Structure formats: structure tokens, C-alpha cells
């Protein structure tokens, strides 16, 4: 049993999903871990991590529009120092969560056929986002 830890950085382009499945798979391959659990942790409170459908970009657009309706920008938030998109971003980050846990075996993640791993940016403008990866296993 061992622990392997690393950090990946991604540049987002404002609100949207970034498919990071490939980068995470490469990181896991290089870790040489065979069987265990991989934890991804987003070090930010206005972006998050999500497992979602990997076949249709329309699904991503629907998710983003639905989140925008659920937590719209507006003048009804007390916290607005950092712009109208900031408080909705914190709300969406609460809903989508900051961490993912994915099992692996044979040095590969056990994702379902239609599952991809996404970094979801909730701020209007792009940001550099850090994801800590920790693999625990054999």
C-alpha cells in the first residue's frame, strides 16, 4: 500500500465544463498504482468537480443554463464585493462539491462508459484552478 500525491493546474475560460478525464488518467498511469481509490480535490470555492455525461456537449450547456436559473446573478445577495457572478459561484460550488472519489483497478479508473471527469468553472471570467490528486492503493 502506498500514497501518491500530485497537483494539476488548469486554465478555465469562464463559466463552463473542462473535460480533465485524459489528464487524470495519465497522472494515474504514471503513479503506477494498480488498485485503490483516487481522490481529486479542487482548492477553490467558486469552481468544483463533477462527473457527468461525456457524449453530448448539449448536456453540458443544459447543466450550465439550469445552474444559472437556479442561482441567478442579481442584487439580492449581501456579498457582492467581487462582482455579481461571485455569490452565485459560491452557491453553485456548494451544490457541485469540491472533491471526487474514483476507484481504480489495473491502473485504470473504473468510470462507467458515459462518465467523464469535469472541472466546472462557476465564475464569469477564466481562472487558473488547482486540483490535488491523491491515489491510495497497491
The neighbouring-strand residues paired with 3 are 136
Find all residues with CB under 8 Å of 58, minimum gap 6, and list them: none
Is 75 among the residues that bind its own copies (CB under 8 A)? no
Judged by CB under 8 A, the chain residues 23 through 42 that form the site for its own copies are 35-37, 39, 41
DSSP string, 14-67: SSEEEE-HHHHHHHHHHHT--SEEEEEEE--SSEEEEEEESS-HHHHHHHHHHH
How many residues touch its own copies under the rule CB under 8 A: the total is 55
Q: What is the CA radius of gyration of the chain?
A: 16
Please select the residue that binds its own copies; options are 87, 121, 122, 123, rule is CB under 8 A: 87
H/E element, 7: strand 2-11
Considering only the stretches 8-16, 19-27, 93-101, report the one whose residues sit in contact with its own copies under the rule CB under 8 A: 93-101
3 close to 134: Cβ distance less than 8 angstroms: yes
Question: Nearest distance from residue 96's CB to its own copies, in Å?
Answer: 7
Beta carbon of residue 75, minimum distance to its own copies (angstroms, whole number): 12
The one among 15, 27, 96, 119 contacting its own copies by CB under 8 A? 96
**Would you tell me which residues interact with its own copies (CB under 8 A)?**
1-3, 5, 35-37, 39, 41, 43-45, 50-53, 56, 58-59, 61-63, 66, 70-71, 77-79, 81, 87, 90-91, 93-103, 105, 110-112, 114-115, 130, 132, 134, 136-138
Amino acid at each position: 500500500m502506498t500514497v501518491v500525491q500530485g497537483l494539476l493546474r488548469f486554465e478555465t475560460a469562464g463559466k463552463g465544463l473542462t473535460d480533465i478525464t485524459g489528464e487524470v488518467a495519465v497522472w494515474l498511469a504514471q503513479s503506477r498504482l494498480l488498485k485503490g481509490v483516487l481522490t481529486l480535490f479542487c482548492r477553490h470555492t467558486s469552481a468544483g468537480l463533477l462527473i457527468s455525461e461525456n457524449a453530448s456537449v448539449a448536456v453540458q450547456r443544459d447543466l450550465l443554463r439550469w445552474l444559472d436559473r437556479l442561482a441567478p446573478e442579481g442584487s439580492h445577495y449581501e456579498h457582492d464585493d467581487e462582482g455579481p457572478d461571485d455569490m452565485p459561484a459560491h452557491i453553485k460550488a456548494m451544490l457541485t462539491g469540491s472533491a471526487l472519489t474514483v476507484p481504480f483497478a489495473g491502473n485504470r479508473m473504473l468510470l462507467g462508459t458515459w462518465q467523464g471527469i469535469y472541472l466546472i468553472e462557476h465564475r464569469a471570467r477564466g481562472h487558473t484552478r488547482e486540483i490535488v490528486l491523491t491515489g491510495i492503493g497497491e
